[in-house]
Chains A and B, each alone.
Chain A
Amino acid sequence: MSDDFKVSLNGTALIIETGKSLNTTNSPELIEELSKYVGQTIQKVVFDASELVTISSSGLRAIYFAKLRLGNSPEIVFVNCAKEIYNVLKMIGLTSSIKFMEIESKKTVRSRDNIEEFAANNDVVCYSMKLGQDED
């Protein structure tokens, strides 16, 4: 998927599959795409970050947009978040209000390489779940 993204709706969960970067080359387009879902019932926004390795403030704006403009303050979920991305989210105080999940089947070489170190060094619970499936 390189630097592109894919957005799909699964019930009330909006799923965003990111490429390697969320930055000024693609975040404005992502926000424009997300704008199409403003006013719809969105309870959860899932960022599938299995390929994501860089995020700039422009990418962070897309996350803010999802949280503040879609649905009624939907739950934000990050799937297979790399340690570098997690650290950026932590740096700006977002990790406490984002749910982090690991999904084995979606992992790329990037995330598999880092998962043990990631889990050991970060205050997150890792478990497997299918995209769009609700936890108990």
Chain B
Amino acid sequence: MNRLHFQPIQGKSLDIIDAILQTEEVVAVCDVWRTLSVVVEELVLNIVDYSHSDYLDVEIISDEKRITLRFHDGGVPFNPLEKEVPDFTIPWEERQIGGLGIFMVIKCMDDVTYEYTDGENILSVMKKLKSK
């Protein structure tokens, strides 16, 4: 397991995204790296822009079957999984752009869970790996 700690996080989104995507565990899963690059971007931007947390911890756990990334922040309690799914049936002009990111995360990953524990938002995302 790898654990990264970022503090402060405001204005550091790109550095944080790069650091996560360059970890040994993430680099090693090349068949899902593109998916993870989108998921990491969406989640880091959401936390940095909206959580009001001054830190972000990311745990990365992987084995031959799956990779899990767990994002911890000390911001205001917010469960993104309760966010309303955007309505994609209505015309472009009437659509809300907000919510696209978390929707993409849920669709791209095999499991997404949220909990609020000990003053932290903890969002876990898991992707199954193709067996070799």
**Could you list which residues of chain A lie within 8 angstroms of chain B, going by C-beta atoms?**
21, 23-25, 53-58, 60-61, 64, 67-68, 73, 84, 88, 91-94, 97
Nearest residue in B to A23 (C-beta to C-beta)? B41
B1 CB–A CB distance under 8 Å: no
Cβ 8 A contact of A54, one of B38, B101, B107 = B38
Chain A residues with CB under 8 Å of B42's CB are: 56-57
Distance from B104 Cβ to chain A, minimum over Cβ atoms (Å): 6
Least distance between A93 CB and chain B CB atoms (Å): 3
Q: Mark B112-130, 1 if CB is under 8 A from A, else 0.
A: 0000000000000000000
* Structural contact, A23 and B97, CB atoms closer than 8 A: no
Contacts of B41 in A (CB 8 A): 23-24, 56, 58
- Inside 8 A of A97's CB, which chain B residues have their CB? 92
Give the B interface residue count (CB, 8 A). 21
Cβ distance A59 to chain B, nearest Cβ, rounded Å: 9
A56 to B78: give the CA distance in the assembly, Å.
22
A-B contact count (CB 8 A): 52
Neighbouring A residues of B13 by C-beta, 8 Å? 24
**In the bound complex, do residue B38 and residue A56 qualify as a contact, i.e. CB atoms below 8 Å apart?**
yes
With an 8 A cutoff between CB atoms, is B84 at the interface?
A: no
> Residues of B contacting A73 with CB < 8 Å?
92-93
- A91 with B107: CB separation less than 8 A: yes
The contact of A68 among B86, B93, B100, B107, by CB within 8 Å, is B93
CB distance from B13 to the nearest CB of A (A): 7
A67 to B94, CA, bound (A): 12
Are A92 and B14 within 8 A (Cβ)? no
Could you tell me the distance in whole angstroms from the C-beta of A83 to the nearest C-beta in chain B? 12
Given A91-B107, A92-B86, A92-B88, A54-B95 contact (CB < 8 Å): no
